[in-house]
Amino acid sequence: MRRVLVLNQDYSPLTVCSAERAFLLIYARKAERVHDDPELKLRTVSTEYPMPSVIRLQDYIFVPYKSVLLSRQNIFKRDRQQCQYCGSQRDLTLDHVLPGSRGGKSSWTNLTTACKKCNSYKGDRTPEEAEMSLMNQPFKPSYVMFVRNFSGFTSDEWLRYLGTN
């Protein structure tokens, strides 16, 4: 599925949507095309339209605080769909680095992706106690980082609005 970066009226990144949704926003005059993908077109029976890559909303949307929702799917995205102990991409589940039974909370910095085999072996221990090392320490991604790195980034044009950090 082709992804399109959606900017607020002030050109700040807001979200990512499908190309179809972006086209409907443009058609309804709720957004304007900022950048197109020169190699792709949207086609109807009788007309051809530029494929949007970045759109900007006509009206400002007030967002009090942009944060990435803590969810199973977002943890998997952050960890690039692979076990953080062995690198496997099969039978993935979530692991509490500090087990819940020992006071570990469900948070960005305590949850990591693990395959069922590693999670079962680790059990009710910390990675150190189980003599297992994490490939990457769990962290909370910023909103812009999440949009740029984990949401289906498709265009170099996005970098202008998402920054480099």
- Among 18-27, 67-76, 130-139, 149-158, name the most confident range: 130-139
For residues 56 and 14, what is the distance between their CA atoms, to the nearest angstrom?
A: 9
Backbone φ and ψ for 19, nearest 5 degrees, come out as -60, -35
For residues 6 and 14, what is the distance between their CA atoms, to the nearest angstrom?
A: 6
Contact 93, 43 (CB under 8 A): no
pLDDT tens by residue, 119-145: 999 999 999 999 999 999 999 988 877
Mean pLDDT estimate for the chain: 90
Give SS3 for 6: strand
pTM of the model: 0.68
Contact 47, 94 (CB under 8 A): no
Q: Identify the structural domains of the chain with CATH numbers, from first to last.
A: 3-65+142-162 (no CATH), 75-122 (1.10.30.50)
- Identity at 162, one-letter amino acid code: L
CB contact set of 66 (below 8 Å; sequence gap of 6+): 143
